[in-house]
Structure 1
Amino acid sequence: MRLQAVTLLWRAGIAAALVCAIGVLPWLSHTDPALTVLKARSADRDPTPEVLADIRAQLGLEKGPFRLLGDWLGGLWHGDSGRSWISGSEVTPAVLQALGVSLLLMAVALVVAAGTAALICSRTLRLGAGQRLDGRRAGGGGSAVLAALPEFLTASVLATVVGVQLGWLPALGWYGFQWTILPALALGLPAGAVLGRLLDDLLPGAFAEPWALAATARGLPGRTVARQALRRCLPGLLPNTGLFVVGITGGAVTVEQIYDIPGLGRTTLQAALAQDLPVLQAGTLALVLLAAVAAALAHLLTRLLIGPALRDGALPSPHRPAPPARRFLPLAYGGLLLAVIAVGLPRDPLALDTAERLAAPSGAHPFGTDALGRDVLARVAHGALDTLLLALAITAVTLLTGLALGLLPRLSGPVVDTVTALPPVLVALLVTAIVGSGGTTPALAVAAVAWTPLAAHTSALLRQERAALHLTATRALGAGRWYLLRHELLPAVVPPVTRHALLRLPGVALALASLAFLGLGAQPPSPEWGLLLAENQPYAERAPWAVLAPAAVLALLGALAVTAAGGIRRHKRTAAPEATDVPEKQPEPRELVTTG
């Protein structure tokens, strides 16, 4: 009980610190809130000293940020989130309405994600139920393409083709359930691809456990074995599923922008850009509370599924040495990516030729040209150097951070739940306010949130591995906690988390691309991939090659990441230490716990 109280206070403290940081955002960025509010209210009105003074008096800006923050927090006890600095309307009804829109979109997107994940895992489930797995998992290429497709590009293509050209579904606005289908597809397909790959990574180990072998030998139906294997693997994914819930709800900014959806992510972004602090604080608080609820539900479902086994230390390890991966696939994908870069690097990415505007692919321009007549192949190749190197560096940093903090779940759990509630766009605005705008701002913003799914995955796997039978036996032989950590826990946790990090490598590149798409990342004439997509997206119908080329390279990066991740395998577990290997003085078993 005491531990739960400390954890609750820790979560509340982090949430309060976040809300306070947002409350002083304009003062951190050294901007005049009155001037920003005036631009948002009426861009044509002159910012005379009298007008600005009148706005400061209306908003009470003379009180300072902390007095305003105190007044806002005091109103929360009465359910009053204040009034919008822009429209003057009450904040609470507007935020609740936006939250309702986002929750509906999230629910439909989760259905799409679940269906996508089921399709990706269907072959593994079918073969595993009959104990006919040969080491080959479900199609990695298709899931890699889905996971690497930019959400804003998918949303634009669906809106243009399905909504406008074919007229099958509405493509703009928010007036009923039909308007949720296209944005839900744009959000759910990439999320389902990532979840499907993670689940497909765990299923072979579950089918190799003694209970599954015994159930198959006794002639139980394959569907029953497959259903129990899913139940066995889901606890390791529930934390990441909770992160997807929050990410789809608050992080769907670009999709909400394209489809003109009045969701919570878009509302929060608009409030941040206009420095409408009451709306921004209320929207962020709603996201933090949603993250806490999602984390609590994931924890509860884990307890319901495998709680007794976790308590009694009676779980078999779900991780088995994987069979050798197909090495020619990553070599083929990597070679193709390097070939594209090598062919495009000698070309000039900034050379203009207005006579060749939006020219179709040809011998002179294999990927065509953009709206200014620049060679798309040259821009893709030169942008790859910045995009790939930056994405690799961020992935390496987030992997180390996620592993380190995931080994300390009591410390990192509340931080993960809070940080994951923040859309990368909002984090980019906070980073810009603190360190200023520049080339490092998108990298810092993405790195600040990209470690959370890896930490959650590490904690979930660690919790299950610590309850494994072999660990109990090794501990009973007198192994110390550092021996267990080095020889048992880390070898079981690091390979799947590293594969997870590689699966998210295209997602890191996409996050940088999303910031560029929204104007918060690289600026023209930079050939950064996200900026290429943003610049050419308005011409997707007239010159699709200008958009498909960088999108295809992103998909190729995703396929490379998935196949390379398959080559990261756990070595065979070493035998438990012999009695002669154990030091003479060993701590009591209750002192052998490695983490919280």
Structure 2
Amino acid sequence: MTVPAQKAPEAGAPASLRPARPRWRETLGLLVRNPTAAVAGLVLLAIVLVAVFDEALAPSGPNEIAVEDRLRPPSWAHPFGTDDLGRDILSRVVLGAAVSLRVGFLAVGIALVVGSVIGLLAGFYGRWVDDVLMRVMDVLFAFPAVLLAIAVLAVRGPGPGNTALAIGIVYVPIFARVTRASVLGVREEVYVRASRSVGASDWRLLTRHVLPNAAPPIIVQTSISLAFAVLAEAALSFLGLGTQPPDPSWGLMLAEGRGFIDLAWWLAFFPGMAIFVTVLCFNLLGDGLRDVLDPRQRTLMAGGGR
């Protein structure tokens, strides 16, 4: 029995061809190689898990009053201490994570969808569409962010839902500008013009070619905006326009602990640290995503990893 001889590879041909890795896996691999971004992502994942399983992780209810334990400093029984009503600060910080993150994600989701659609249409069609849409965005952008959010809440009333809407309206012009700038650089690429020349519809061009290739700056802006959305929610709650008592919120806890800062420092310290860590990690993750998604920096990182 003879075994058929295998065909020898042609000269200059690679011995084996490995399939290309999916882009998202390559991006994730480069992000993991960045220790700062990787640690920030893990911390944010832990905070999100705390917000999701808040009731299971909280030692007690957010409004369980124990007057005999009021203003107790941090101890084994109450790791973050208690407030002026004897409520456990750790439980309120854990349960406040869900409120603060829910408002932040909802606000950025509103700004992302509305702003990206506006920027996509303005950048792709140009001319009068660009002029009209971006002048409206300029009007919104001219207002100070906090004052615009306060004006929206003055009309709609306080509460987590209205706070998310107010913050979302504030960040719509930012996403519109970022998306428009990215689309302007993509719409004249060769592959877009080639698709248009063979009769591709505007919808197909926008969804299959323009938006996917314009997405990296939008993803980075989303991470950074989440940081400022959490900060804005805390600021509005601190002013009494966001989450209302007795619901726990990091900004509201800061406002409640302000009057006891000399007597019980832990009332404001721990919710303040929660805000600080969350905002810092979102910013660090955004910086890491910017490095990974930038084509030139991506090439340097991929080349350095070999």
TM-score normalized with structure 2 length: 0.69
Work out whether 1:505 is the aligned partner of 2:226: yes
Q: 1:544 aligns with which of 255, 265, 269?
A: 265
* Alpha-carbon shift at residue 417 of structure 1 (Å): 1.2
The alignment partner of 1:526 has SS state of coil
- 2:299 aligned partner: none
Q: Is the 8 A contact 2:71 2:81 kept in 1?
A: yes
Counterpart-to-counterpart distance in 2, 1:563 and 1:457: 19
TM-superposed CA distance for 1:466, in Å, is: 3.6
| Structure 1 Cα separation of the partners of residues 176 and 119 of structure 2 | 4
How far has the Cα of 1:388 moved from its partner? 1.4
Q: Secondary structure at the match of 1:325?
A: helix
**Alignment of 1:376 onto 2:109:** no
Equivalent residue number for residue 173 of structure 2 = 452
Change (3 A) 1:342 1:441: closer
Go from structure 1 to structure 2 and tell me whether the alpha carbon gap of 1:436 and 1:394 turns closer, same or farther (over 3 Å shift).
Answer: closer
* Runs of at least 5 residues in structure 1 that lack an aligned partner in the other structure: 1-320, 573-596
* Structure 1 position 391 matched with structure 2 position 109: no
CA gap of 1:326–1:375, structure 2 versus 1, over 3 A, is same
User: What is the 5 A alignment of 1:458-469?
Assistant: 458-466=179-187
> Taking CA–CA contacts closer than 8 Å with sequence separation of 6 or more, which of the two structures ends up with the larger relative contact order?
2
Question: 2:32 — aligned with what?
Answer: 326
CA separation in 2, counterparts of 1:433 and 1:379? 27
1:211-290 residue pairs with structure 2 within 5 A? none
Letter in 2 for 1:489: V
Shift in Å, 1:523: 2.2
How many Å apart are 1:331 and its aligned residue?
2.9
How far did residue 404 of structure 1 move? 0.4
**CA contact 1:344–1:379 (8 Å) conserved in 2:** no
Instruction: Select 2:164's aligned residue among 431, 443, 453.
Output: 443
Query: Partner of 2:85: helix, strand, or coil?
Result: coil
Identity rate, percent: 33
- Residues 549 and 344 of structure 1, relative CA distance in 2, 3 Å threshold: farther
Distance change in 2, residues 1:531/1:392 (3 Å): same
Once the two structures are superposed, the pairs formed by residues 93-172 of structure 1 within 5 Å of their partners are none
* Matched letter for residue 456 of structure 1: R
Alpha carbons of 1:414 and 1:525: their partners in 2 closer, same or farther (altered >3 Å)?
A: same
Please state whether the residue corresponding to 1:521 is helix, strand or coil. Answer: coil
Query: 1: CA distance between counterparts of 2:150 and 2:275?
Result: 25
Q: Deviation per CA, 1:254-273, whole angstroms, max 9, x where unpaired?
A: xxxxxxxxxxxxxxxxxxxx
Q: Secondary structure at the match of 1:384?
A: helix
Write the distance in 1 (CA, Å) between the matches of 2:67 and 2:149: 35
Query: Counterpart of 1:338?
Result: 49
How far 1:337 sits from its partner (Å)? 5.7
Secondary structure, in 3 states, of the residue corresponding to 1:406?
helix
Q: CA deviation at 1:459?
A: 1.4
Q: How far apart, CA to CA, are the structure 2 residues paired with 1:362 and 1:416?
A: 51
Cα distance between partner residues in 2 of 1:342 and 1:562 = 28
Deviation of 1:434 (Å): 4.0
CA distance in 1 between counterparts of 2:48 and 2:201 reads 44
Contact 2:73-2:81 within 8 A present in 1 as well: yes
Match of 1:415 in 2: 136
Specify whether residues 463 and 552 from structure 1 end up closer, same or farther in structure 2 by C-alpha distance, changes over 3 A only: same
Structure 1 match to 2:125? none
Alpha-carbon shift at residue 419 of structure 1 (Å)? 1.0
Number of aligned residue pairs: 249
| Letter in structure 2 aligned against 1:331 | L
2:232 alignment partner AA: A
- Find the counterpart in structure 1 of residue 246 from structure 2: 525
The equivalent of 1:515 in structure 2 is: 236
The residue that corresponds to 1:117 in the other structure is: none
Residue from 335, 342, 356 that aligns with 2:69: 356
User: Quick check: 1:367–1:375 contact (8 Å CA) kept in 2?
Assistant: yes
1:431 aligns with 2:137: no
Using a 3 Å threshold, how does the CA distance of structure 1 residues 421 and 393 change in structure 2: closer, same or farther? same
Over the aligned positions, Cα root-mean-square deviation in angstroms equals: 3.2
Q: CA deviation at 1:347?
A: 0.9
TM-score by length of structure 1 reads 0.37
Contact 1:428 1:441 in 2 (8 A): no
Amino acid at match of 2:193: R
> 1:559-574 counterparts in 2 under 5 A?
559-562=280-283, 565=286, 566=288
Deviation (angstroms), 1:416: 1.6
Code of the residue aligned with 1:335 in structure 2: it is A
Query: CA 1:543–1:465 in 2, change beyond 3 Å: closer, same or farther?
Result: farther
Deviation at 1:358, TM superposition (A): 3.1
Q: Which amino acid aligns with 2:73?
A: A
Counterpart in the other structure of 1:586: none
Residue 206 of structure 2 corresponds to 485
> Residue 473 and residue 526 in structure 1: after superposition, are their counterparts in 2 closer, same or farther (change >3 A)?
closer
Q: 1:344 to 1:362 in 2, by over 3 A?
A: farther
Q: Identify the residue that residue 302 of structure 2 maps to in structure 1.
A: none
Structure 2 counterpart SS, 1:374: coil
**Structure 2: runs of 5 or more not aligned:** 1-25, 123-129, 296-306
Alpha carbons of structure 1 residues 551 and 344: separation in structure 2 relative to 1, 3 Å: farther
Is the CA contact 2:112–2:222 (under 8 Å) kept in the aligned structure 1?
yes
One-letter amino acid matched to 1:345:
A
Q: Is the 8 A contact 1:380 1:550 kept in 2?
A: yes
